[in-house]
Amino acid sequence: MITPNHYARSRFARTTRLATCALALLSACTVGPDFKAPPAPASQHYDPSAELGLTAPATETISFGREIRGDWWSSLGSPKLDQVMQQAIAGNLDLAAADATIAQAAEAVNSAEGGLYPQLDYGAQVGRQRSVDSSPRPLTSSLYALGPTVSFDLDIFGGTKRLAEQQGALEDLQKHRFEAAYLTLTGEIARQAILEASARAQLDAVQVLLADDRKNLELVRGAQLAGSVAQVDIALAESQLSQDETLLPPLAQQRDAARHALSVLAGKGPADWIAPDFDLADFVLPEDLPVSLPSELAHDRPDIRGAEAELHAASAAIGVATANLYPHLNLSASLTQAAAGPGSLFAAGSTLWSIGAGLAGPIFHGGALQADRRAALDGYTAALAHYRQTVVTSLGQVADVLQAISHDAAEDAAQQRSLAAAGTSLRLSQDAYRSGEAGVLQVLDAERGYQQALLGRIKAQSARYLDATQLAVALGGNSVGATPLTVASRDQ
């Protein structure tokens, strides 16, 4: 036997199914532009002269059109660097914050997509009522009601869909910001490690230089006692020693600041964790540098991908603002089980149901809705200009680094020739001293010249390591798609 309650529940279920079907039927009415990614850069080169210069002898060569594979820093060949990278990636607090922001953005997408489905709620009511009629005594009774309600915005013009699309683009933006933070972190770790190694090598060279200065001063003082040199020669030797001693503090500061920076990048205080000491011998200079095509740069750099996600969000915002200019159609239904005391208008155990539809649309809002749409269009124009500027800036950065690689390679070659010449001069001076044809001061001067040439060679070599690092970072460092870390808050 079919009871009234069973009939009411069946009608309520059919209403829910009807609302779900209506969503599918009306999904094609989405207003606003469908986003299309901007075309890739048409440029075929970053800087033709720089690319041509990298084919000259004594320079790194580039593999044009080949993308970076795996961890970009592995080309530097340093197990110590690999160790510090892993420590920093696991402990860096900026990455942890970026990862949590991705989770927050993902929940915003879930929240927006929830508006695409019927909203099911429940309600309860308790009250007292009095009825006044022709009876001599008014009747007072209690009313108890409990039941579910369903409401559904059919989203005829796709405003809710565009909102979910916008939130999805903003989630992509946060992912690319994580990748940018990852790229910045790894690039800075490599840079600080190279700076520390360079400082250590220069400190060693300066210590040898100071030892030569002190020997020179001792010899001049001895000669002055013998009456063979004037007081001015001692002053000159002392001045040279003092000038060279000023080289030590800046280099020591560079070494210590690099060590502190590595600790901070790893998410630790300098007193809590110390990175291993780096020397230039820990690194190898990559002989073959992969350089992706300009047309691929938009897919490799997280800042360009982030700018594209911002452009996508701005496009979806136009759809949201456009949909707000049109009516909203809502379906609603409710089912209530009511119980009442004697004298109530409702019989005990009554089932009450209702089904309705509502249409609401804007008539006059003082131009606010039209202004919102115009603002969304302007926001898209601004986001497109920002995207294009990001692409142009990226092309310029790669071109700058390619030129730097070419110029620094030439400088390094010149420094190698200078060091070789200084070495030859030192060897000849030592031979002349042993044969009695030159004095010890000449040998010390040659040793000092060799150490100065060695300092120049160390700086040039360090610059080439830094160039290789900067090129990998400028090309995106294979960071797009880097898996975000899992923070504790996700497990709570």
Full set of structural domains in the chain with CATH: 1-30+119-154+329-361 (2.20.200), 33-116+158-326+368-484 (1.20.1600.10)
Distance of alpha carbon 361 from alpha carbon 250, whole angstroms: 70
Which range, of 266-270, 274-278, 337-341, averages the lowest pLDDT?
337-341
**Which stretch of DSSP H or E encloses residue 267?**
none
Give residue-wise pLDDT tens across range 344-353. Answer: 444 556 787 8
Write down the pLDDT at residue 326: 93
Which range, of 107-111, 136-140, 158-162, 178-182, averages the lowest pLDDT?
136-140
Distance of alpha carbon 251 from alpha carbon 459, whole angstroms: 12
Write down the pLDDT at residue 348: 54
Give residue-wise pLDDT tens across range 388-428. Answer: 999 999 999 999 999 999 899 889 999 999 999 999 998 99
If we measure between CA atoms, which residue out of 2, 77, 1, 6 comes closest to residue 337? 6
Distance of alpha carbon 75 from alpha carbon 287, whole angstroms: 9
DSSP states along 351-377: EEEEEEEEEE--S--TTHHHHHHHHHH
Look up residue 57 and give its DSSP letter.
T
Look up residue 346 and give its DSSP letter.
S
Higher pLDDT, 154 or 25: 154
Which range, of 10-14, 225-229, 442-446, averages the lowest pLDDT?
10-14
Using pLDDT thresholds of 50, 70 and 90, give the confidence band for residue 437: confident
And the tokens for 417? 């020739």
If we measure between CA atoms, which residue out of 210, 217, 253, 249 comes closest to residue 234? 217
pTM: 0.84
Position 24 pLDDT exceeds 60 = no
Using pLDDT thresholds of 50, 70 and 90, give the confidence band for residue 7: very low
What b/e readout covers 356-370, taking b as 16+ CB neighbours within 10 angstroms? eeeeeeeeeeeeebe
Give residue-wise pLDDT tens across range 30-67. Answer: 898 999 999 988 888 899 888 877 765 545 678 888 88
Phi, psi of 153 (to 5 degrees): -85, 115
Distance of alpha carbon 109 from alpha carbon 378, whole angstroms: 24
The HSE-up count of residue 332 (CA atoms within 13 Å, CB side) is: 12
Position 130 pLDDT exceeds 80 = no
Write down the pLDDT at residue 139: 66
Using pLDDT thresholds of 50, 70 and 90, give the confidence band for residue 8: very low
Percent helix, strand and coil across the chain, each to the nearest 5: 65, 10, 25
Q: Which residue has the tokens 């972190």?
A: 185
Give residue-wise pLDDT tens across range 318-335. Answer: 999 999 999 989 999 888
